[in-house]
Amino acid sequence: MYASRMSHLPPYLFARIDEMKAEQQRKGVDIIDLGVGDPDLPTPDHIVASLCKAAKNPENHHYPSYAGMPAYRSAVADWYRQRFGVKLDAGREVLALMGSKDGITHIGEAFVNPGDYVLAPSPGYPGYYTGTLFSEGKVHEMPLLHENNFLPVLDNIPKKVAKSAKLMFINYPNNPTAAIAPREFYREVADFAADNTIIVVSDNPYSEVAFDGYRAPSFLETKGAIEVGVEMHSLSKTYNMTGWRVGMAVGNADVIAGLGRVKTNVDSGVFNAVQLAAVTALRGPQDCVKEACTIYQERRDVLISGLQDLGFDVPSPKATFYVWLPVQDCMAFSAKLLNEAGIVATPGIGFGSGGEGYVRFALTRPVARINEALERMRRLDL
């Protein structure tokens, strides 16, 4: 019944974990879910209020414009200028997305011919793989290894692959490894992309989730970046708006136009009221972003010091709300946590073969729950 590409879709590991979790819940186990990368904190009130107001205006009840409302695109351009010093033409260099997943999974259809290579980090966000599959490209995995600070080594990409690659996904601050990228890395990527005529897609949804004073850069701050690529950002993680489905692609006008043309044919844009609430988020007070970081930072400190007390060698991440823990066997480790302690952690293999040997904890539960999880882990023989 199903098309053959369906059999190439990665086994949806998260669905299997959900099943295992449901089984424990049926037994009455109090589950501590540190698996899913979805903020537990609510969307700030002023943003919700803005949606309510905009939803009541019948003018907003029609089909949105495909590329996004001018008010939204100029708010995005202003945010990029203020936050990163990156100047964008709101008309040609900004596109509204239904979350960055929308852009990630559809950009291949505009630029990848069957058999073309797409360079994607492993471990990496599953959308890089599925988007490539839908455009019938071939993924070339760029391993993210601890000894390379979880940055891909561009020199290790075979020349033939580099020459026939169309797209390269990069993602810093990184999910799942929580690694950050130095500016030199972005310069290398921009040069590599120019030399090999590759479009860079910088997936940057965690730029605002950072600790200890660290400020993540945008790839577009790099000289030459806008000639070779785009960046995707999203309101999902920055403003706790995962359910709202609103984000943006910004950068190279031709790339933005190609992605926009695909999207014109598959969706009809983001609800205007959601775009106007997103304008409120981007233009309004930013204390809520700082407050969320303070909360994640406290959780990070509790989890990291607890894990270190348990004997794990795990560094304290500077950004994202993840902890990437090295373990022997990721499936066995996460099954043990779930079945013997009621703790959900994501096995690294769910992010590609490069994730073996790690589990990912999401800091999306309160400190009290993280402490309870650590208490339960102390009772296990890990």
Ligand X SMILES: *Cc1c(COP(=O)(O)O)cnc(C)c1O
Residues near ligand X, by CB under 6 A:
37, 99-101, 125, 171, 175, 203, 205, 234, 236-237, 242, 247
Tell me 319's DSSP state: B
* CB 76, min distance to ligand X, A: 13
Is 171 or 218 the residue whose CB approaches ligand X more closely? 171
DSSP state for residue 305 in the 8-state scheme: H
Q: State the alpha helices, DSSP H only, in 172-252.
A: 183-196, 225-228, 235-238
Q: Which is nearer to ligand X, 177 or 196 (CB)?
A: 177
Distance of closest approach, residue 247 Cβ to ligand X, in angstroms = 4
Residue carrying the six token digits 């030199």: 184
Characterize the bridge pairing of strands 138-143 and 117-122.
parallel
Beta strands in the chain (DSSP E): 32-33, 94-97, 117-122, 138-143, 165-170, 199-203, 229-234, 247-251, 322-326, 343-344, 346-347, 358-362
Could you tell me the smallest distance in angstroms from the CB atom of residue 204 to ligand X? Answer: 9
Closest to ligand X by CB, 74 or 234: 234
- Degrees, nearest 5: CA angle 69-38-119: 75
Nearer to ligand X, 205 or 355 (CB): 205
CB of 97 to ligand X, least distance (A): 7
Nearer to ligand X, 140 or 360 (CB): 360
**CA gyration radius for the chain?**
21
Query: Rounded to the nearest whole angstrom, what is the least distance from the CB of residue 151 to ligand X in the complex?
Result: 15
Nearest to 202 by CA among 156, 250, 152, 166: 250
Say which residues have a Cβ less than 8 Å from residue 111's Cβ, sequence separation at least 6. 135, 166, 167, 199, 255, 258
Of 278 and 304, nearer to ligand X (C-beta) is 278
CB of 350 to ligand X, least distance (A): 13
Q: Which residues contact 229 (CB under 8 A, 6 or more apart)?
A: 190, 193, 199, 200, 201, 202, 219, 220, 251, 252, 255
Q: Minimum CB separation from ligand X for residue 363, in Å?
A: 13
Nearest CB to ligand X, comparing residues 100 and 297: 100
